[in-house]
Amino acid sequence: MNQMNHRIALDLDPLRKLSAWRPAEYAFWLLTVAAYFLFPKSLALMSQIAITALFALSLDLILGYAGIVSLGHAAFFGLGAYAAGLLSKYGWGDPLLGLAAGGLVAATVGFVTSFLVLRGTDLTRLMVTLGVSMMLYEAANKLTDFTGGVDGLQGVEMQPLLGMFGFDLYSRTAYWYSLVVLFLMFWLARRLAHSPFGLSLRGIKQNVARMPAIGAPVHGRLVAIYTVGAAYAGVAGALLTQTTQFVSLDVMAFSRSAELLLILVLGGSGCLYGALIGTVVFMAAHHFLADINPQYWQFWLGAALVLIVLFARDGIMGLLRKLPVPGGKQA
């Protein structure tokens, strides 16, 4: 940051301590590896969970850290999904290339639209993000030659990952692939969140008016994080396309954006693990409750949302933090 020319003796130790990996975090990631061996029959579901977790992570970067509200985050997910799908449909079926393309397309659109989104207040932002995502949804819906419209994009053929691991029927490759991508992206996000850049975002969220006074370019920072968030969502979308080899129109639907907000609020926003844990709980609940009755599921989803907002504003992570466990999380 800019203050380097007047070097003040800053005590960075507390910050360093916060950014160190804690035992609970190692345990969490070991569990994801163990899950492969524990539930070999639900690998397809678990790779979906990993993908959704990455998507939730992308919203957490935007909303939890920078405080930019969005009702249309599924737009970037959808862009990534279609980018990867179309790329492989027309012959470039390499998975990693698809990921990069998905992220890049979403980042580009995110960068461009960030200038629209960052104007105005929360309410305007909600409306503009919603409007942008509805426009993209309509575009995908109407460009049937290109996207397949409501029938979805078919004919996505993936080449083996790194030329070695083909995508199998049991989703073994899909799970490892999604998990590794999730972990790498998470690691990167974690670095980002604890970097000066991440700290300045929190500052912006807490007090927009004061940040310029200490020399932080607010607008530039917000544009940057919005672009990064969009790229993350694009990669998640591309992953979904590659592991399911299909793109349906609902990757961009409003309900996906709304569900994502719920996931993040359920887990607790503003600390990356909230996104991950929220996704696991949400997807597992969805899986079991929707089996019983889809309508039933939607009702309880709504009820959960109402209760969380009223009583547990910090989500699961907030509840965990209140537990007096010695190895537990602090802020």
Q: Name which of residues 275 to 314 contact other proteins (CB under 8 A).
A: 295-296, 298-299, 301-306, 308-310, 313
Nearer to other proteins, 170 or 299 (CB): 299
Please report, for residues 30, 32, 63, the alpha-carbon distance to residue 36 in angstroms, rounded to integers and kept in the order given: 10, 7, 31
Our measurement of the distance from residue 174's CA atom to the centroid of its chain's CA atoms, rounded to an integer in Å, reads: 18
Q: Which of 44, 45, 69, 104 binds other proteins (CB under 8 A)?
A: 69
Draw the binding track, 8-47, toward other proteins (x: CB under 8 A; -: no contact): ----------------------------------------
Indicate the angle between helix axes 254-267 and 43-59, nearest 10 degrees.
Answer: 80
DSSP H helix total and E strand total for the chain = 14, 0
Q: Does 206 bind other proteins (CB under 8 A)?
A: no
Q: Which residue matches tokens 């992220």?
A: 103
Nearer to other proteins, 102 or 278 (CB): 278
Q: Name which of residues 110 to 149 contact other proteins (CB under 8 A).
A: 116, 119-124, 126-128, 130-132, 134-135, 138-139, 141-142
CA distance 228 to 219: 14
165 beta partners: 161
Closest CB 237 distance from other proteins, rounded Å? 20
Binding footprint of other proteins, residue count (CB under 8 A): 42
Residue 258's nearest CA partner among 166, 133, 138, 170 is 133
Q: Which residue matches tokens 């061996």?
A: 37
Nearer to other proteins, 87 or 261 (CB): 261
Nearer to other proteins, 141 or 195 (CB): 141
Other C-beta atoms lying within 10 Å of the C-beta of residue 127:
14
What phi, psi does 67 have (nearest 5°)?
75, 25
Where along the sequence are the contacts to other proteins (CB under 8 A)? Answer: 63, 69, 71, 116, 119-124, 126-128, 130-132, 134-135, 138-139, 141-142, 254-255, 258, 261-262, 265, 295-296, 298-299, 301-306, 308-310, 313
